[in-house]
Amino acid sequence: MLEKISKIKRIVIIAIIIQLLLLALLHFSLHKDIIIPAILIFLEAALAYIIISNYDTVIHEQAIGVKSALGTTAEEAYIKGGLGLVMYDDDYVVTWMSELFDKIGIDRVGHKILTWVPEADDLIAGRSDTALVPLDDKIYEISRIENAQIIVFKDITALDRYRNQYEDEKIVVGFANFDNYDESTQYVDEAEASTINTALRTPLNEYFDNFGVLAKRINNASYYLVLNESILTKLIEDKFSILNKIRKAAQENDVIVTLSMAFARGSKDYNELDSMVSNLMDLAETRGGDQVAIQKLGEEVKYYGGSSEAAEKHSKVRVRVISHALRDLIMASTNVIICGHKDADFDCIGSSLCVAQMVKALHKPVCIIAKTGGIEEKLSKALKDNEEELKEEVNFVTESEAINQLQDNTLVIMCDHHNKSISNGSKLLDDAKKVVIIDHHRRSTETGVKPVLIYIEAAASSTCELVTEMIPYVSRKTDLSEIDATIMLAGMIIDTQNWRVRTGARTYEAASTLRQMGANPTLANQFLKDTFEEFFDKSLALANSEKYDNGIIIAPVKDRMMTRSLMSQVADSLLNIQGVNGAFVIANSDKETCISARSNGKINVQVIMEAMGGGGHLASAAVQRDMMDIDELKNELLEAIDNYFKEEASDESDT
């Protein structure tokens, strides 16, 4: 309002000056007397001044009137209670402010309220009821009086401080565990074990002490942690640098040990927090370890770290325990249904065939869902070429046929996947009472099912490796045919990128077992040969590849549809180029736009793909989206890669 008054004053002054100039012009050009007109102009100016001054007085009296309406006692009460009122006009200009603002030295009368307090925008528009505004080291909660152009300011500085203090002091329960500790120390002597313990525990205890974490050792490898939200925030800001320190200390002592941690928060129920942190620890471990899993009750799990591949375990104790549990579940079931993932590959069908043969050895009816959900091309041809032999061994069914066989005591086994959303038996899983998961992919937060038994081993090369190891413990009478063993071997060849990645002693041991059971390496490689069309598509993708910094190569394919299997093969081929550490192929596949990612182990493509909503392994990962522009997805990929290397650089500097 004051701005408008000032504008009017300027206009009046300009008008008077113009009139005086005209009079002077008349006097000098026409030699006429201008005394009387000049007197009239001065009278006009005086009248304008009086009118404008009276207008100022009216505004002041309006403020006094509001003050009178409130009363002196109310005024003092408003100031004492930290309440302030602000009135504004139709142009959102402040016309009056209560005495609270005089006391704190704020005068915004005549200014746009949204320029002063932009937080009031949603309030005035009716999109929110309250908003928080910081003013001069104080926090005010603002609200609008309905059907009036008045905003109420309430000083909640103390309340906000207590609220923040309450949030900061909320309890957080944690768990820390040295991954692969027992495997690394079981064969060393006492002196060496003591040296390893000191090298690992000393930096960990110092880290917890520095941040004020209460850590109680449960056993040689595990700690139970108690802290609060404030400490957890500091740990997150530190990016859990202890992971790098433990990894480095382990390397210096020539052991393969990493650290995993889990933190549960957001509940007053300690039993609930304890249950949450146990599940989170399982998640961190089954995703390969060397990472931190954090969850607030009711929210998604957040992961930090996970920059190294899961270490292979030499002991087969867990295999034996899981196998015996699976055998008991099979024996207690009326029948077994095996489901794989959509667009099933050699590892999926191969492991399913192996499990089916183990179930048959225990004399239980079994079927495999393979007629719906899709099968990748090379596998489809292999199954068709050996259709007659396979029909005699196993019963391939559609999901609908499997649902008709589902009973209350039916056991459903998920092979090579653990998420219902990508299963070729997703509808079946909705009604299944007993579900078992056998998989080698890093575990995602949600599975969509409640399994009675879960066996996810991220260190394994493939699910075929896992089930091969289970054979002698489930039933030594399991009889794999040559075609079964060959399909399984082909699955291992693909998932290890021709034995180049994720291959440990147990991988080759499983391959040796399959060879003894009749697997034909020549036939397996014959299954994996390209057709001319596939060779052409591969060549096109390779020709479109683009090289970037840090040994990254991206192949966007815009003009042709590609199967996901073919995309992964192109990515594998790109890794054969010197200096390439990570390869990404982007193409449309069926009704989706996909990225297939591969690395030589120096880059964690799983972290990059997870940032885009996908997943996988350190050296093999992918993401699928609804059909979208290839260039748009490539730009998103480049951004995710940049963020990954920034994080890596930050971790190295912390170390």
Q: What is the pLDDT of residues 450-489, one digit of tens each?
A: 889 989 888 788 999 999 999 999 998 998 999 999 999 9
Does position 19 have pLDDT exceeding 80, yes or no?
no
pLDDT score, position 558: 86
Task: Say if residues 493 and 499 touch (Cβ distance below 8 Å).
Answer: yes
Q: What is the mean pLDDT of residues 524-548?
A: 88
Q: Supply the pLDDT for residue 438.
A: 95
pLDDT of residue 50: 61
Span of 115-129, 452-466, 517-531, 565-579 with lowest mean pLDDT:
115-129
Does 132 or 187 have the greater pLDDT score? 132
pLDDT for 38 equals 61
Q: Are 447 and 419 in contact (CB under 8 A)?
A: yes
The DSSP code for 613 is: T
Q: What is the pLDDT of residue 1?
A: 47
User: When comparing pLDDT for 164 and 4, which is higher?
Assistant: 164
Query: What's the rounded mean pLDDT across residues 211-224?
Result: 93
pLDDT of residue 206: 94
User: % helix / strand / coil in the chain, to the nearest 5?
Assistant: 50, 20, 30
Question: Is residue 300 very low, low, confident or very high in pLDDT (cuts 50, 70, 90)?
Answer: confident
245: helix, coil or strand? helix
How far apart (Å, rounded) are the C-alpha atoms in residues 360 and 378?
27
Residue 319 confidence (pLDDT) above 80:
yes
| Mean pLDDT over each residue of the chain, to the nearest integer | 84
What confidence category does residue 2 fall into, taking pLDDT thresholds of 50, 70 and 90?
very low
What SS3 string covers 380-409?
HHHHHHCHHHHHHHCCEECHHHHHHHCCCC
Tokens of 419: 């998420």
- Residues 445, 472 contacting (CB under 8 angstroms): no
Given a cut of 70, whether residue 647 has pLDDT beyond it is yes
> Given this model, what pLDDT does residue 617 score?
73
CA atoms within 13 A on the CB side of 124: 19
- Confidence grade of residue 56 (pLDDT, cut at 50, 70, 90): low
Evaluate if pTM is beyond 0.85.
no
The least confident of 166-170, 217-221, 222-226 is 166-170
Instruction: Tell me whether strands 592-599 and 615-616 are parallel, antiparallel or unpaired.
Output: unpaired
Q: What's the confidence (pLDDT) of residue 12?
A: 63
Per-residue model confidence (pLDDT) at position 69: 47
| Model pLDDT, residue 653 | 52
> pLDDT value at position 11?
67
pLDDT of residue 68 exceeding 80, the answer is no
Supply the DSSP symbol for 586: E
Beta-strand ranges (E) seen in 32-189 are: 83-88, 94-97, 130-135, 138-144, 150-155, 171-179
What are 394-414's pLDDT values in tens digits?
Answer: 999 999 999 999 999 999 999
* Alpha-carbon torsion, ordered 45, 50, 52, 53, to 10 deg: 140
* Matching residue, tokens 């009135």: 87
Res 73 pLDDT > 60 = no
More confident residue, 224 or 74: 224
Rounded Cα gap, residues 21 and 23, in angstroms: 5
The region of weakest confidence among 19-23, 362-366, 490-494, 515-519 is: 19-23
pLDDT band at 435 (very low <50, low <70, confident <90, very high): very high
Q: What does the pLDDT look like over 25-46, one tens digit per residue? A: 666 665 556 566 666 566 666 6
